[in-house]
Structure 1
Amino acid sequence: MATRQGLDAETVLQAAIELADQQGIEQLSLAALATKLTIKTPSLYNHIKGLPDLRKQLSKRGLLLVKEAMIEAVIGKAEDEALLAAGVAYVDFARKQPGLYEAISALPDYEDPELKEVGAGVVSFLLRILAPYGLSEEDALHVVRGFRSMVHGFASLEHRNGFRMGLDRDESLRRLLQTYLRGLRADAGREK
């Protein structure tokens, strides 16, 4: 079967990201993607293995991009300042790419080796930020889990219009992260 000139797996993935960000990950279908690319749905199979494969690729790309956003945000920062910047970058990513963020949140297969590897890279990055706190490996992993729960919860509530008061959401996020950091310093025996 001939493929449309210039159409490749990356073009298909980028179009899927755009659709997911515009309509939500649950609304993404192969038919909608084919329409966006002005091709017939069966032609997508030259570039993806089906909708589950596409969702996996979206999850993988989302994890890579959220990690990249956090890395960019923490350059030149350490300890509290780095973790604060990573949290803000995480939520900002969810704001800018809501569909792709949903793909991360709804990982299609937590046991998939590719997704596990990319997810482990995100955790490893956060553990490096936490190294100066002198936590045990287990304690640091609990901190990462708590951090993710906090920023994911904030991003999810915000995405679903859960913050309807006229308060500055960025200020709420900053205060939430700072409160978490105070607790982290206290647990690490380094209260300021």
Structure 2
Amino acid sequence: MPRERLTPDALVSAAADLADEIGFDHLTLSALAKRSGVRDASLYTHIGGLADLRERVAMLALGEWADALGEAIAGRSGHTALTAFADTYRTLAMGRPGRYAATRHPVPPDRLAASGDAARIIDVCYALLRGYDLSEPDATDAVRLLRSTLHGFSDLEATGGFTADHSLDTSWHRAVEALHHTLTHWSDI
């Protein structure tokens, strides 16, 4: 990245790309400076330190996820919305692992509230569940089930936690079908 293009947004975007390559936990100011072709000290004009950088990458990732998940369910409901949401979730988790890890990075509540991106993700989840006619407190329980299922599967897949000689795609689709069945028959639980 040429020095004249060194801006906070450009640095955060470069850091997110770097995190996807080397892992969010391995993201450092030195690695970003090297990637950007500058000295470490040059970053401090734009970034308040490693904690600030990681929070900014987390906020960028949350915004990207909110956009992608919202687009996935737009105009869809029920099974088709769930499948689109789940497949988008998995694609993001596997294709952008550093950003995915960043979405779980703790960010101060005031910073989360100011951006609204975390709230948008929650809103997308609740919008998805409206297709299943769930109201509170069932909707909250269903959001937790949805997130834990998709996160658990994606995290295990990303870390090589599935070792059986069986198609991960088949298992994924069956998990989504199980979610659909559970959400459809929620009142029977």
**TM-score of the aligned structures, taking structure 2 as reference length:** 0.91
| Equivalences for residues 30-179 of structure 1 within 5 A | 30-105=29-104, 107-109=105-107, 111-116=108-113, 117-179=116-178
Hey, what's the Cα distance between the residues in 2 that align with 1:82 and 1:188?
Answer: 20
Residue 24 in structure 1 maps to residue 7 in structure 2: no
What displacement does 1:56 show? 0.8
Distance 1:54 1:6 in 2: 17
For structure 2, the 5+ residue unaligned runs are none
- Report the AA paired with residue 158 of structure 1: E
Secondary structure, in 3 states, of the residue corresponding to 1:137?
coil
Alpha-carbon contact 1:60-1:115 (below 8 Å) kept:
yes
User: Could you say what the CA RMSD is over the residues aligned between the two structures, in angstroms?
Assistant: 1.7
Instruction: Report the alpha carbon displacement of residue 177 of structure 1 after superposing the two structures with TM.
Output: 1.1
Deviation of 1:150 after TM superposition, in Å, equals 0.7
Q: What's the CA shift for 1:72?
A: 2.4
What is the CA distance between 1:181 and its match in structure 2? 1.3
Which stretch has the larger CA shift, 94-103 or 179-188?
179-188
Identity %: 34
CA distance, structure 2, for counterparts of residue 59 and residue 138 of structure 1: 29
Q: Per the alignment, in what secondary structure is the counterpart of residue 5 of structure 2?
A: coil
